[in-house]
Amino acid sequence: MTSATLKTTPLYDEHQRLAAKMVDFAGWFMPIQYPTGINQEHLAVRQGVGMFDVSHMGELRISGQGALEFLRFVTLNDPAKLSLGRGQYTMIPNDQGGLIDDAYLYRLAEEEFLLICNAAGDDLVTKHLQTLAQDYDVMLEHESAAWGLIALQGSAAEKTLQPLVETNLSELKKNRIIATGLTNMQVALQVARTGYTGEDGFEILVAAEHTPALWRALEDAGVVPCGLGARDTLRLEAGFPLFGHDFNHTTNPRCSNFGWVVKDKPFYGRESMWDAPCETYLVGLELQGKGVPREGYEVVADGSIIGQLTSGTLSPLTKKGIALARIDAAYKEPTQVVSVRVRGKEIPASVVKPPFY
């Protein structure tokens, strides 16, 4: 795609104003970093508060008498366990033992849910669910274009956001979502205490046309704008997977530390996933020597290649090389020592259970 054909979020002009470095991400023109740089943006979140434009992600509203039954079948976690106003991390299986995408699901009302998926999976997820919904009393509304989404992350997130909203945020527990509004503005918000960085924080849904006003209000409150580069290093330090890298359409999530998501219930494609042997396993690796691990680097043990890295970086916080890797299941236990080939050199690495900090 050329820059002229890429989609833009409601915050495109804000990124231009802030001199962000823009890149093609899943067909969207998105900021990879601002002039402060990825490391400084990363540390701003770890030590204070930062914000991310994640308006490119997909939103799908699912409602009707059959909504719960439908979602129990098309997702791997169990939405029946969601009380009103709660959310859960989940995955959407295909019929080959792999995944269509991972997602976050919120229960807004007894028969109304909001599913937020990755930008790259938005169209695929929507079409897949529309096909399966034909057998259920359910309504699907694709709302991605209507919303902006800002992720406010860091230990100072609550203190920073509180003066701007009408709700007492100290009462909003983790994985909960609430409807509120901006103080002194007639702007409705949906605020969820969730995130993708390992820190406390909020993901804030706001009508597309009001997203720049919210962004500027947060900026005026001292929040550091952060790009997708820092979002990636932060999520990797926290040990969170990135779909399309650590998971894809062929990987079985049961063969990873995220097997807990796959609940023992009927679901689409269960036969292909449930009894499949785990010949490989997704693990965390921490390099014991100097080197920057990158996606695709080989993992070796006992003189043989046993897998490859699915994500990797130099941790801005610990200054250690960290990675997620899919390796032979025989080496999956923590404290195992393997090696990663970095620029032709084999660097010892420990198998660890994330997070990495």
Residues 118 and 200 in one domain: yes
**pLDDT 10s digits, 305-343:** 999 999 999 999 999 999 999 999 999 999 999 999 999
Do 32 and 181 belong to one domain? yes
Give me the mean pLDDT over the 30-47 stretch: 98
Domain end position, chosen among 238, 263, 288: 263
Q: What residues make up the domain containing 298? A: 279-352
> What is the CATH number for 178?
3.30.1360.120
State CA 123 to chain mean position distance.
17
**Has residue 227 been placed in a domain?**
yes
Co-location of 181 and 259 in the same domain: yes
- Mean pLDDT, range 214-238, rounded to an integer: 98
Q: What pLDDT does residue 20 have?
A: 98
Residues 63 and 113 occupy one common structural domain: yes
Residues 94 and 216 in one domain: yes
Residue 147 sits in the same domain as residue 100: yes
pLDDT tens for residues 44-100?
A: 999 999 999 999 999 999 999 999 999 999 999 999 999 999 999 999 999 999 999
- Does the pLDDT value for residue 1 go beyond 60? no
**Is 334 contained in some domain?**
yes
Q: What is the CATH number of the domain that holds 337?
A: 2.40.30.110
Sign of the CA dihedral with 270 first, then 275, 278, and 283 last: positive
Question: At residue 220, does pLDDT exceed 60?
Answer: yes
Q: How far apart are CA 139 and CA 134, in angstroms?
A: 10
pTM of the predicted protein model: 0.96
Residue that finishes a domain, picked among 228, 263, 298: 263
Q: Is 281 helix (H, G, I), strand (E, B) or coil?
A: strand
- Is residue 144 in a domain? yes
Q: How many percent of the chain have pLDDT more than 70?
A: 99
> Taking 90 as the threshold, does the pLDDT of residue 2 lie above it?
no
Work out the number of other CB atoms within 10 angstroms of the CB of residue 170. Answer: 8
The average pLDDT across 206-219 equals 98
pLDDT higher than 90, residue 188: yes
344 is a domain residue:
yes
- Same domain as 226, residue 321: no
270 falls within a domain = no
| CA-based torsion, 258, 259, 263, 266: positive or negative | positive
224 plus 331 within the same structural domain: no
What is the pLDDT averaged over residues 115-142? Answer: 97
Q: Is the separation of the CB atoms in 14 and 63 below 8 Å?
A: no
Sheet holding 224-226, edge to edge: 177-181, 188-192, 201-207, 147-153, 50-53, 224-226
Query: DSSP state, 178?
Result: E
Residues 204 and 312 in one domain: no
Say if residues 208 and 244 touch (Cβ distance below 8 Å).
Answer: no
In-domain check, residue 271: no
| Count of domains for the chain | 2
pLDDT at 185 over 90: no
Last residue of a domain, one of 263, 294, 312: 263
Tell me, yes or no, whether 217 lies in a domain. Answer: yes
Average pLDDT, the chain: 97
Express as a percent the part of the chain with pLDDT over 90. Answer: 97
Domain co-membership, 256 together with 285: no
Check whether residue 348 and residue 254 sit in a common domain.
no
Claim to verify: residue 29 and residue 129 sit in the same structural domain:
yes
Q: What pLDDT digit, counting tens, does each position of 243-291 carry?
A: 999 999 999 999 999 999 999 999 999 999 999 999 999 999 999 999 9
Residue 3 has pLDDT above 80, yes or no: no
Residue 340 inside a domain? The answer is yes
